[in-house]
Amino acid sequence: MPGHFEPLPGGGAAVALDDVEISIIRSLAVQLLELIGPGPAPDAPADPLAELFAEGPSEPPADPVLRRLFPDAYSDPGRAPDTAEEAEERQAHSAEFRRYTENDLRAGKRENALAVIRALDALAAAGEGGAVLKLSPAESRQWLGALNDLRLAIGSRLEITDEDDTDLLYRLPDEDPRKPMVMAYLWLGGLQETLVSTLLS
């Protein structure tokens, strides 16, 4: 089980993590939370209808990691607009979509990252020297979302855009300052892959 998720009887997944692994994942999840930003203020009115119609930002984020986590809905990276009018129309549709969806997307990503932190804190409090993390099916899906977001964030910082970039990262020399981030990216990818397999089994 070390380094990969395995299915639990009755659903869910389990993985053995040592103290260093727990610390790395937790630190990355905290950084992701800081990047996504805080949720609603504690004194915000609890009006579900107002919350439903609350508008989010209409402009794409300036940070490339956030642009990767919250991409434009109407952009096609593989195809440039035929005309200036088409480009303008795409931009208007993307802004409208972002305005009504980004707050919910941020809330979901924030909840997933918090679920990871809570699970790891509970695991660390239970014993020393690492332990076996056991997740329910719902927690497993939250972890899957958080692992995906962490890999997108690290991949963006490493400027990974396709599979060829990943192949080049495997060959980085040990003295390259990106090496620790690359190792985290690849390790999280392995965790994500085995969690997907576990949930599909």
Amino acid 27: pLDDT: 96
Q: In one letter, which amino acid is 99?
A: R
Amino acid 52: pLDDT: 47
Q: Is residue 1 part of a domain?
A: no
Domain that holds residue 71: 6-200
Q: Is residue 182 part of a domain?
A: yes
Angle CA(158)–CA(25)–CA(4) in degrees, nearest 5?
95
In the predicted model, residues of the chain with pLDDT beneath 70 are 1-2, 39-60, 74-82, 87, 90-91, 93-94, 98, 127-130, 163-164
- Contacts of residue 82, defined as CB under 8 A and 6 or more positions apart, other chains included, come to none
Amino acid 57: pLDDT: 60
* Tokens (6 digits) for 27: 């630190």
Is the distance from CB of 175 to CB of 134 less than 8 angstroms? no
- Indicate the number of domains in the chain: 1
Amino acid 1: pLDDT: 40
Q: What is the pTM of this model?
A: 0.80
Amino acid 147: pLDDT: 97
Residues 105 and 88: their CA atoms lie apart, in Å, by 24
Residues 62 and 42: their CA atoms lie apart, in Å, by 26
Amino acid 174: pLDDT: 84
